[in-house]
Amino acid sequence: MQLFGWGLVLLIASLYVLPRVLPSVAKPAYWISCVMIGVGLVTMIGQGLIEKV
């Protein structure tokens, strides 16, 4: 669950920071980062579940 917490923090931080840091490429970078973070979160959660089982 600790990994999930950090993933959530990173997700919120990136969603907040990216559009302000990169306004000119906010739209594509925003969606790409959302997808990347989503994949990373799913992977981390999956690994955590596998380790518990």
Kindly report, residue by residue over 2-27, the tens digit of the pLDDT. Answer: 666 777 787 777 777 766 776 666 57
Secondary structure percentages of the chain, helix, strand, coil, to 5: 90, 0, 10
* pTM higher than 0.75: no
Residue 17 has a pLDDT of: 75
Residues 35, 40, 45, 47, Cα dihedral to 10°: 140
Q: What mean pLDDT value characterizes the chain?
A: 75
Q: Taking CA 2 as the corner, what is the angle to CA 50 and CA 13, rounded to the nearest 5 degrees?
A: 120
Per-residue pLDDT at 9: 81
C-alpha gyration radius of the chain: 13
